[in-house]
């Protein structure tokens, strides 16, 4: 029986439960503000303009500070926010729209790609 459990665990995707942040400065502050209210529609050009950085410099500095591209980081921020809200019992549809998704189906597809599971699996039973 314990071998079966270990096989099941080994077959599950690893869900990164951390959100790396740049070490210091305005970029870190911007990332912290975004992580407090993530939105899937955050655009690279908007971040560059708000931080007065070129695209090239931003992508270099962002990857050096986080180890991820902005798209990867943004998705992870959304997944972590969703997991937190799901475990608190929030509705999948409400979370999807709050994160900027056009439908709960598109949110669920992204969530499944990132975690290997459907959002309802993380939802606290009421």
In a domain, 15, yes or no: no
Counting the structural domains of the chain, the total is 1
Q: pTM of this prediction?
A: 0.81
Least confident of 14-18, 44-48, 55-59, 86-90: 14-18
More confident: 7 or 97: 97
User: What is the C-alpha separation between 90 and 85, in angstroms, rounded?
Assistant: 5
- Concatenating the DSSP letter of every residue in 42-110 gives --HHHHHHHHT--HHHHHHHHHHHHSS-HHHHHHHHHHHHHHHHHHTT--HHHHHHHTT-SSHHHHHHH
Which CATH number goes with the domain that contains 92? 1.10.10.60
126 pLDDT higher than 50: no
In a domain, 18, yes or no: no
In a domain, 30, yes or no: yes
In a domain, 3, yes or no: no
User: What is the C-alpha separation between 60 and 64, in angstroms, rounded?
Assistant: 6
In a domain, 59, yes or no: yes
* Average confidence (pLDDT) over 96-104: 95
**pLDDT per residue as tens digits for the range 18-39:** 899 999 899 999 999 999 999 9
* Domain limits for position 70: 25-118
- What local confidence, expressed as pLDDT, does residue 120 receive? 87
In a domain, 17, yes or no: no
In a domain, 95, yes or no: yes
In a domain, 20, yes or no: no
Least confident of 14-18, 25-29, 103-107: 14-18
């Amino acid at each position: 029986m314990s071998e079966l459990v270990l096989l099941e665990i080994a077959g599950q995707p690893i869900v990164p439960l951390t959100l790396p942040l740049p070490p210091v400065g305005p970029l870190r502050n911007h990332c912290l503000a975004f992580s407090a209210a993530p939105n899937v529609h955050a655009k690279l050009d908007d971040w560059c303009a708000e931080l007065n950085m070129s695209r090239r410099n931003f992508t270099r500095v962002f990857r050096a500070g986080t180890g991820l591209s902005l798209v990867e980081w943004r998705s992870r921020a959304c997944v972590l926010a969703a997991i937190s809200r799901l475990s608190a019992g929030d509705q999948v549809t409400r979370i999807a729209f709050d994160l900027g998704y056009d439908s709960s189906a598109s949110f669920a597809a992204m969530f499944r790609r990132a975690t290997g599971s459907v959002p309802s699996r993380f939802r606290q039973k009421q």
